[in-house]
Amino acid sequence: MRLNDLILFAVVFGSMTWAIFYPTTGEPFHPLLLPLLMLLLFLSFMGIDFRALMDTSRSALGRLGLLATMKLVILPIVLYGIALLFMPDFALPVLLLTGISTGVVAPFMGTLVDADPTMIVRMVIVTSVLVPFTLPPLVKILAGASLTIPVYVMVRLLAMVIFLPMAAVWVMRRLAPGFLETIRQRQFPIAMVLFSAVNLGVFSKYSEFFFKNPGQLVAAVGVAYVLSITYYCAGFILSPRQEVKEQLAAGVSMAIVNNVLVIVFSSEFFGPLSPTVAAMYMFPYYTLLVPVKLVAKSLNRGPASGQ
């Protein structure tokens, strides 16, 4: 395990713990979650060739369509059915978390495990556009509940959170490349600060719930880890003949989801369990990055050792 991996663990768990025991320190970050996510996406866009996003080859579009269909339709239905059989109370939270779009910070998280960020950005854009048309019908048909994700809200969110950081990187590449390079060289410590701020903003909201419902929280964390591992495995399974970077991109596209968005709208439409599971997903969100990196390294060594 590298030093940066240890720093990541310390920052993530330290900020989570601090937010739980000292929730008032996280209150200033509550209205800043979207700007913080935009800054993380800005960091990830610094290493992306935007021309690659326009790849319209049959293989690229076919792979994108397969991943998006699995992400938004097949996996939510399958996992909802399994949860309904074994943990019916968690069935709806599983459906919401599984059926939500790829997270806007997924491209940056992909850079931490050396995944192909271009594919991840394409998944962020496509799933964000499609989720208002896929998730509400699934919730209605499977769970018999009403959920509204206004299309204009997702379009506005997509334009603001994704395209503004993209435009900022494009402009700075032309007007201030030296400053952009300075930021790139300090990318990791900047990201750790942003991760801490996001965790303070999210977990401070659940501090009281942590102490009042410890059993339910432990169950929610367990469900979150099972889901995240399943998402990563699904991405790898869908990319059996791809390079390791492509397999990692598929796994990250499945596993790094818009759980903050689930927290926001499930708090409005449903009971406390759905936003709780979405919030607890922050644990595997970060901590599984290191095991995923180790798996990727073993896959990279495999072909070499066989020669």
Range 133-141, long-range pairs (CB < 8 A, 24+ positions): 134/72, 134/73, 134/99, 135/72, 135/76, 135/96, 135/99, 135/100, 138/73, 138/76, 138/77, 138/80, 138/95, 138/99, 139/92, 139/95, 139/96, 139/99
Kindly give the parts of the chain with pLDDT less than 50: 303-307
| Domains defined for the chain, CATH in brackets | 3-300 (1.20.1530.20)
The helix/strand/coil state of 253 is helix
How many residues in the chain? 307
| Interval 122-155: pLDDT, tens | 898 888 888 888 888 888 888 776 666 666 666 6
* Residue 305 pLDDT: 42
Answer yes or no: pTM beyond 0.85.
no
* Residue 229 pLDDT: 96
Written as six digits, the tokens of 170 are 């494009």
* Residue 147 pLDDT: 61
**252 to each of 28, 108, 262, 282, 294, how far by Cα in Å?**
30, 10, 18, 14, 14
* Residue 307 pLDDT: 40
| CA–CA distance, 144 with 79 (Å, rounded to integer) | 16
Written as six digits, the tokens of 14 are 């330290």
- Return the C-alpha torsion angle 239, 224, 23, 207, nearest 10: 170
